[in-house]
Amino acid sequence: MNRSIISLLAKLDAIYFTPNINGRLRCLQSTTSVSRRQLHSHGCVFRRHLGLAQHKKDQLNGFVSPGLLHNELRQSCMVTRKTYSTDNGRNLSFEEFQALLNSQDIQVIDVREPEELETDGKIPNAINIPLGQLKKTLLMDDGLFMQKYRVVKPQPHDLNLVFVGLGPIKSNAAMAIARKIGFKHARHFGGGFNEWSSKMNPGS
């Protein structure tokens, strides 16, 4: 996955958590020219709909691409505040995610870039595999994976594989990639590091 697309998904995750509509519009104004240029260079078309009156219209709705990233981008960006906490059990709530962390019966893959982790912080015991490297890493030989990450590689039949990002955009894209290559039980925590850190450290 091209780094310009990865960067755009990271920006969309940040925009998703901007607390008011004017803030989201300012964020979009700062990224729209770059976004369109990046997407058109990859044969993609970027559409956005931000409702100014109703929360149900408050959404970042869609990438449409005829190329390799079509499904991943489209699925990852069709996210609304009304539906992003359900998604047929594929998207964990904070409570579900934290319960799995506490039980240690979970394999967490954080798909942010390393510099994002250094800037924003980390989720304990999460493996950092940037989104652009995810597919080839999940297809990596088990032994090589162990050498690189010092943990057992997730297997397609695993029930506890969960992806996280800053918010729902990149983690949903990661889940789509994993499911496409056989990890049919993969899930994601749409609240991402933003929700996790705010609820774990409410006073900060």
Which pLDDT does position 4 carry in this prediction? Answer: 64
Provide the pairing of β-strand 78-80 with 107-110.
unpaired
Q: How far apart are CA 68 and CA 72, in angstroms?
A: 8
CA 126 to chain centre: 14
Runs of H (alpha helix) within the chain? 3-16, 21-41, 70-77, 94-103, 114-120, 134-138, 142-149, 168-180, 192-200
Which pLDDT does position 176 carry in this prediction? Answer: 96
Tell the CATH topology of 87-200.
Oxidized Rhodanese; domain 1 (3.40.250)
Which pLDDT does position 3 carry in this prediction? Answer: 64
Which pLDDT does position 89 carry in this prediction? Answer: 75
Which pLDDT does position 29 carry in this prediction? Answer: 47
Which pLDDT does position 88 carry in this prediction? Answer: 67
Which pLDDT does position 111 carry in this prediction? Answer: 98
Closest CA to 136 of 177, 90, 168: 177
Closest CA to 13 of 117, 174, 186, 165: 165
Note whether 120 and 193 are within 8 A (CB).
Answer: yes
Which pLDDT does position 203 carry in this prediction? Answer: 72
Residues (pLDDT < 50) of the chain are 21, 24-25, 28-29, 31-70, 72-73, 75-86
What are the residue boundaries of the structural domains of the chain, listed by start?
Answer: 3-80, 87-200
Q: Does residue 6 sit in helix, strand or coil? A: helix
